[in-house]
Structure 1
Amino acid sequence: MAKSPIYKVIFHNNSQVYELYARAIFQSDMYGFIEVEEFVFGEPGQIVVNPGEEKLKAEFNGVIRSYLPMQSVIRIDEVEKEGAGKIIDSEGGSNVRHFPMASGRPVPKGPGSE
């Protein structure tokens, strides 16, 4: 029987970079979003407690499906087995930067307009 694939999803959320694992990822019917389902966290009988992964478990507790904006996704990899999920501050010490957005400056109109 074929094993279902596991995906490592890395994305921006506020000023942090999230790395988590899921079994189902696909393009959403809502334009510009990626759907992530069936989150995978460490083994239930694991003795060692990872505080970063515990924070992710608490944040995604009860979440069936998450919609991520495409511009927040950094990378999606298909992996052989899940690892420990984590949350990393993207400010200082990291080379991950936000995607440049429009500055919001007004565009000058034609000549003679004020």
Structure 2
Amino acid sequence: MSSSPIYKVIFVNQGQTYEIYAKAVESSLIYGFIEVEQLLFGERSNVVVDPSEEKLKAEFDGVQKTFIPMHAVIRIDQVSQQGNAKISDHKGSNVVTHLPFPAGKPNRPE
């Protein structure tokens, strides 16, 4: 395994499944979010170009750190090698369930 860990983050965004690779993933100070930074993409020198990865490169161009809602994350893995980042149609039969908010009395005048 390399000295610097690589993380594969799979999450759902607007009906599509995103698979991205990054060098740093951690809990955010913003409640309910995961911080993902130092995104990794394949080399541009490859002869075969994956349009899905090119779309991701364009979408995250100039992004230093992205915040992903916890309820959208499907899986985070530490991997030994970087794979191809991709976007695919979400084919899961289960619906992403939102985290419940703390129940409290609303402040209503009585």
Indicate whether the TM-score tops 0.5: yes
If you compute each CA radius of gyration, which structure gives the higher value, 1 or 2?
A: 1
The bucket for the TM-score relative to the shorter chain is 0.7 to 0.9
How many residue pairs are counted as aligned between the two chains?
Answer: 98
**Cα separation, 2, equivalents of 1:60 and 1:74:** 19
Q: Is residue 53–residue 86 contact of structure 2 (8 Å, CA) maintained in 1?
A: yes
The question of 1:83 aligning with 2:80 is answered no
In structure 1, the residue corresponding to 2:37 is in which secondary structure? strand
What secondary structure is seen at the aligned counterpart in 1 of 2:97? coil
Structure 2: runs of 5 or more not aligned: 100-110
Q: Give the superposition deviation at 1:101.
A: 4.7
Q: TM-score, normalised by structure 2?
A: 0.82
**Matched AA of 2:7:** Y
**Aligned letter for 1:24?**
A
Percent identity over the alignment?
52
Structure 2 residue corresponding to 1:98, chosen from 71, 76, 95: 95
Separation (CA, whole Å) in 2 of partners of 1:40 and 1:61: 11
Unaligned runs of 5+ in 1: 103-114
Partner SS for 2:84: coil
Q: Which runs of 4+ in 1 moved over 4 A?
A: none
| Cα distance in 1 for residues equivalent to 2:18 and 2:93 | 12
Aligned to 1:66: 66
Residue of structure 1 equivalent to 2:14: 14
Q: TM-score, normalised by structure 1?
A: 0.79
SS in 2 for 1:58: helix
Quote the Cα distance in structure 2 between the aligned partners of 1:3 and 1:101.
36
Structure 1 residue 41, shift from structure 2 partner? 0.3
Rounded to whole Å, the distance in 1 between the matches of 2:75 and 2:16 is 14
Instruction: Quote the Cα distance in structure 2 between the aligned partners of 1:84 and 1:17.
Output: 14
* Partner residue in 1 for 2:107: none
